[in-house]
Copies of this chain bind each other. A is one copy, B any other.
Amino acid sequence: MKLNKKGMLVVVSGPSGVGKGTVRKALFELDNQMFSYSVSMTTRKPREGEIDGVDYYFVSREEFEQRIKDDMFLEYAEFVGNYYGTPIDKVEEKLNEGLEVILEIETAGALQVRKKVHDAILIFLVPPTKQALYDRLIRRGTESSYQVEKRIAKADNEFRLAHKYDYIVVNDEINNAADRIYAIIRAEHAKTERSIHSYLEILEEENGK
């Protein structure tokens, strides 16, 4: 029996290059989970092979801006001239189905979510050492050294945001990090403020017999 039936909104964020994407993937490969991924909306053109509604919802700039005005995003941002955002209605649908919705997003987006969904769980993924993250950013090697330096500067700023999150999870090893996040989700379901209503219902039922 699960006390808290409604799904939870779980935000996995952290400094650039910490490995949010790989940890999120490992999380979805765990047994017995009820995780759901939220498809983002974007104004960038689909790349070859990308499917609308699967990889992204592809919309026009006008449509995106109308949705911003209508307050229809949990969070959104503009990168290199394109908008990216999380549609609020899709997330709510899934939460109501009892699925946990995992959002893997940048720190700016994570803090927007906090303002809209007060009981969202914000997880800050951190490297075991700062150097480990620098090494990773350098090793990627697909970017110019100017780009790498820019990303390191960004990560350095993001390191300071930890106190705005509910949990700090060390990504020393991908599966360990995923296990820790899973433990957090299970624990959150058991929290008294989340589970007391279902618990009281159980007691009521018994009394009604």
Query: Which A positions have Cβ atoms within 8 angstroms of B?
Result: 1, 3, 124, 126, 128-131, 159, 162-163, 165-170, 172, 180, 182-184, 186-188, 190-192, 195-196, 199, 202-203, 205-207, 209
Give CA–CA (A162, B172) in the complex, Å. 36
Q: How far is the CB of A21 from chain B (nearest CB, A)?
A: 20
A interface secondary structure, majority? helix
Contacts of A190 in B (CB 8 A): 167-169, 180, 183-184
Q: Are B187 and A168 in contact (CB under 8 A)?
A: no
Q: Which residues of B contact A195 (CB under 8 A)?
A: 167-168
| Partner of A196 from B163, B169, B183, B209 at Cβ < 8 Å | B163
A190 to B203, CA, bound (A): 32
Whether the pair B1, A162 counts as a contact (CB closer than 8 A) is: no
Shortest 3 CB-CB contacts between residues of A and residues of B: A187-B187, A130-B206, A183-B186
Q: How far is the CA of A184 from the CA of B203 in the complex (A)?
A: 24
Contact A203 B159 (CB under 8 A): yes
Contact A129 B206 (CB under 8 A): yes
Q: How far is the CA of A202 from the CA of B124 in the complex (A)?
A: 15
